[in-house]
A and B are shown apart, each in its own frame.
Chain A
Amino acid sequence: MFPTTNLKTLIVSFLMLGVLFSCKNEPKTATAPTNGKAVTKEVEQQGQAFIADDGSTPNVLQIAMGSPDHSTLVAAVQAAELENALVNAGPLMVFAPTNEAFAALPAGTVEDLLKPENKDALANILKYHVTAGNYSKEFLMKFKKLGQANDQNVAVEVVGDDVFVGGAKILASVPAGNGIVHVVDKVILPPTE
């Protein structure tokens, strides 16, 4: 992943953010965070995404956060403030592009999307990766299309044993407490209206 020095810099900057913008109705800010994730928690504060629960089956967000191959996706979800939508009772099916998939986008795309003024556009793209449902890769073969959380449909194609969703191939699948995460090899861009 990242070199330790950079990680430390990040932690420090997040810590400072935490100090500057700690929220009054979040009393649990006393413990010193030990990694970037913990700090993020304090910046963003409230909702189901921030409940401490180590015992339950991980939800789709926790699975993404635990995967080193999905740090870009997680960062994007946090920038779009969609954490709470992903920890809902669901069921939710998330098509999770890898870091490599994000890196394959034209230069500058990710940086643009992460700008605060593009938060809605980013949220729209991310929601295009989410279905209200919980279907295995095999079961997805029954579908021609899926209705996505951004209100657009995405095509489902089967080529041999492979399932492609909006052109992105399912590489692996991880069941979650509130649905399922399908790891995909491409960022699925919603059709422009």
Chain B
Amino acid sequence: MKKHTYLVLGLLGFAALLTGCGNGNQGKSSSGALNSSNAEKVYVAPGEHDEFYAFFSGGYSGNLTVYGLPSGRMFKEIPVFSQFATSGYGYSEETKPMLNTSHGFVPWDDAHHPDISQTNGELDGRWIFINGNNTPRIARISLTTFETEEIIEVPNSAGNHSSSFVTENSEYVVAGTRFSVPIPQRDIPINEYKGNFQGALSFISVEPEHGSMDIKFQIIMPGFNYDLSHPGRGKSHGWFFFTTYNTEEASTLQEVNSSQNDKDFIAAINWKKIEAYVNNGGGTKMPANYAHNVYDESTHTATSTMKKEVLTVNPLDVPGAVFFLPTPKSPHGCDVDPSGQYIIGNGKLSADLTVHSFDNMIAAIEDKKFDGEAYGIPILKFEDVLAGTVKSGGLGPLHTEFDAEGNAYTTFFISSEVVKWKLGTWEVIDRKPTYYSVGHLMIPGGNSRKPFGKYVVALNKITKDRYLPVGPEMEHSAQIYDISGEKMELLYDFPTHGEPHYAAGIPAELLAPKSKKFYKLADNKHPYATLGAADSKVVREGKDVHVYMSTIRSHFTPDNIEGVKVGDKVYFHITNQEQDFDVPHGFAIIGANTSELLVMPGQTKTIVWEPKQVGVWPFYCTDFCSALHQEMQGYVRVSPANSNLELSWSLGD
């Protein structure tokens, strides 16, 4: 026995000698950023621009961050589902309605999967969509203003995870439920899950010109967990694919009970067929209650409307529209290659990837080669739809993206690596470690008909020692790899914000030229706008005091206000008179139980201030707008509640 041990150790030394550095593929060129040509590849000289925009979901920040690639520089955090004190989003009177839901005001969410709108299967750069996972919502963000324009709540859904992916012409943005729930919600024992809980897959139409969202229909599916999804494209346009797990329909200890079946399913949905069905009057209108919040750029104001009905479709009523493709090991990511031929199930408890063939699927459906059914939905035979298996050697595959050369790139969480493999031959071409425990990955356009390739970004879940430590909580790390050659090359490592799940990248030239520089004051239709300093005024309506205030470098009009009383509710409606790019003014007043406002040129924003103490209270501009920024301030005199002092206001008197 001892002899063996020595041999083991001796041979170990030998093995280490033969394999050299760590992960086997680490050749001479792999010394990362120490390699000067790698440094050049990510270096964007001062004043130069990045080649790609990258939009990273903020995860538990609820927001979306905008980065440049290859530099990894962060440009902006776009508030979506979370209040954002930096700009006043969700605090200002105009934006509070954006966060309204059927559960009331919900100022936070867990933002997961950004997806850029498409035309003919290619990124068109009009909007980016992202899902709120916790209180199910889908947001649409303008890629002209880089602001959230619309949020629609998704009823009958819970854990809105297999979302928010768009069809080839952005006909729909799709939102699938991760948690099945009673539909409609009702008071039943949890252990009656099986057969009573159901999963809603929502197809939200996107109006082609303005992008307005509306739930066209919900498919009410068996009570599985719908994990991730992607649209068919090219030949498979008109279909949508969802991974499922917990086909066991367990309601407790899922980590054991939902891993009992060797195979779960990828649900293949022929949405065109269902669309035709509902267009012909099919489906059942069901009472519901969900918020639809729309931000109007001309009034700079959001409105929230509660919708009371949703159209549901029982998949059994549309024969030939829904099928199950058996897929091993609780598949997580569901990815479709640029041709639309291959549907990849990333079985997270597996070492292998399962690739289904769209052609095989259609042939099996036509030949009615079914292998039983689940709740009446036909199950196709695994062998009939399988195109191939990627024997990766990695552990815990999660997500796959594609380049334009017929290669796929898959993340492996447990073995912490990105594996490059070839579509069609399924051979592994390269593998590179990530630091550490990678979740999603992103190639610009990597889930469209036209990937732009060049880079893959690995979005890691664990940071540990990658950066200077900053206490127990670390931002997540991302790594960018050059994928222009046969082998991937790690170029650079940068921290991200929140927990990026998915990301979406797009060439800068598609967005930069149309990025809005400022809002035209002449187009401002805000009911409390002050379109010129001369229009400034203060109006009392009972205990409400409306201050119509204008800002310009470097003063507020008015800057002295008297006649406000304790117990009043003061609305500061601030209109920025500037008409230049990047000249916002801020507004903050002492004791406000809300945030500041950051008001863009031409825009009007409002905060409420409820003075509780007698005195003279200052307000000031929070954005260093000009050389006389420090002079940009004013006072409000607050008198006792029973004071008879009339309202007055002035500037320079």
Q: Are B350 and A114 in contact (CB under 8 A)?
A: no
How many residues from A make CB contacts under 8 Å with B?
A: 59
Complex CA–CA separation, A84 to B465 (angstroms)? 14
Q: Are A85 and B31 in contact (CB under 8 A)?
A: no
Q: Are A85 and B415 in contact (CB under 8 A)?
A: yes
A98-117 interface code vs B (CB 8 A; 1 in, 0 out): 01101100000011001110
Q: Are B395 and A127 in contact (CB under 8 A)?
A: yes
Binds A, one of B9-17, B142-150, B218-226, B508-516: B9-17
Tell me, yes or no, whether B21 is within 8 Å of chain A by CB. Answer: yes
Looking at the assembled complex, report how far the CB atom of B245 sits from the nearest CB atom of chain A, in whole angstroms: 13
Complex CA–CA separation, A2 to B2 (angstroms)? 8
Complex CA–CA separation, A91 to B6 (angstroms)? 32
Of chain B, the residue at the smallest CB distance from A139 is B256
Looking at the assembled complex, report how far the CB atom of B634 sits from the nearest CB atom of chain A, in whole angstroms: 53
Show 9 A/B contacts (Cβ-Cβ < 8 Å), sorted by A: A6-B6, A13-B13, A21-B16, A21-B17, A21-B21, A23-B26, A44-B22, A45-B22, A48-B462
In the complex with contacts A48-B416, A88-B413, A75-B12 CB distance below 8 A: yes
Q: Are B462 and A133 in contact (CB under 8 A)?
A: no
Q: Are A110 and B7 in contact (CB under 8 A)?
A: yes
Q: Are B11 and A88 in contact (CB under 8 A)?
A: no
Our pick among A76, A84, A120, A147 for the contact of B8 (Cβ within 8 Å) is A76
Q: Which residues of B contact A53 (CB under 8 A)?
A: 464-465
Q: Are A110 and B8 in contact (CB under 8 A)?
A: yes
Tell me, yes or no, whether B393 is within 8 Å of chain A by CB. Answer: yes
8 smallest A-B Cβ distances: which pairs? Answer: A103-B1, A114-B11, A24-B31, A75-B8, A23-B21, A43-B16, A48-B436, A79-B15
Known contacts A48-B416, A75-B12; 15 additional CB pairs below 8 A are A10-B10, A21-B17, A44-B16, A44-B21, A47-B23, A72-B5, A75-B9, A81-B23, A102-B4, A103-B1, A147-B259, A147-B262, A147-B329, A149-B395, A149-B414
Q: Are A132 and B11 in contact (CB under 8 A)?
A: no
Q: Which residues of A contact B464 (CB under 8 A)?
A: 48, 51, 53
Tell me, yes or no, whether A25 is within 8 Å of chain B by CB. Answer: yes
Q: Which residues of B contact A153 (CB under 8 A)?
A: 262
Q: Which residues of B contact A48 (CB under 8 A)?
A: 416, 435-437, 462, 464
Tell me, yes or no, whether B20 is within 8 Å of chain A by CB. Answer: yes
Tell me, yes or no, whether B24 is within 8 Å of chain A by CB. Answer: yes
Tell me, yes or no, whether B645 is within 8 Å of chain A by CB. Answer: no
Looking at the assembled complex, report how far the CB atom of B402 sits from the nearest CB atom of chain A, in whole angstroms: 24
Tell me, yes or no, whether A46 is within 8 Å of chain B by CB. Answer: yes
> Which among B1, B34, B436, B465 has the greatest number of chain A C-beta atoms within 10 A?
B436
Our pick among A111, A127, A142 for the contact of B7 (Cβ within 8 Å) is A111
Which residues 39-88 in A have Cβ within 8 Å of B in the complex?
40, 43-48, 51-53, 71-72, 75-76, 78-79, 81, 84-85, 88
